[in-house]
Amino acid sequence: MTARADQFAVALNKLDETGDARPIAQLFADDAELTRPQLRDDPAGGPEPFWTAYQQQFHDLATSFTRIEEVGDLAVLEWSSQGRLATGRPIQYAGVSVLNFDDTDRIVRFATYFDTAAFTMPTSQDTD
């Protein structure tokens, strides 16, 4: 059963579609730990600012999940995303996200891992 992880995946897709961070932020405990490769710690100040800052990197983005596993208080989601950065440059990247849930099914820890080179390396369009 992956109900909590599926709920996260649906909320992330809604963030991709609408840019509204509130639905995904509501899945998190107020004091949740959120990390991604570009951040050494969570300077964003909580779930909603974290997801707003994430979304603002993109002009448009679509994320698809290739595998979702959930056991106990842990969920792992493998995904790929493609779209355009806020600068308009195309981007495609893939990674894995790890969620930890508390006993009320709120996310207390979110960590995601992906190759950040996709954000900094020029595409073939950039070098033409």
Residue 105: its pLDDT value, please?
A: 97
Number of domains into which the chain is organized: 1
Is residue 28 a part of any domain in this protein?
yes
Start-end of H helices in 29-88:
47-55
Residue 125: its pLDDT value, please?
A: 52
Q: Measured at the alpha carbon of residue 82, what is the angle toward residues 44 and 4, in degrees to the nearest 5?
A: 60
Residue 101 in tokens = 């849930």
Given a cut of 60, is residue 128 above it in pLDDT? no
CATH number of the domain within which 55 lies: 3.10.450.50
Is residue 125 a part of any domain in this protein?
no
Q: What is the pTM of this model?
A: 0.88
2, 69 contact by CB (below 8 A)? yes
Is residue 72 a part of any domain in this protein?
yes
Is residue 124 a part of any domain in this protein?
no
CA–CA distance, 29 with 16 (Å, rounded to integer): 21
Per-residue pLDDT of 7-53, as tens digits, reads 999 999 999 999 999 999 999 999 999 988 776 655 557 899 999 98
Residue 60: its pLDDT value, please?
A: 96
Per-residue pLDDT of 48-94, as tens digits, reads 999 998 999 999 999 999 999 999 999 999 999 999 999 999 999 99
Is residue 128 a part of any domain in this protein?
no
Range of the domain at 82: 3-115
The arithmetic mean of pLDDT across residues 110-128, rounded, is 74
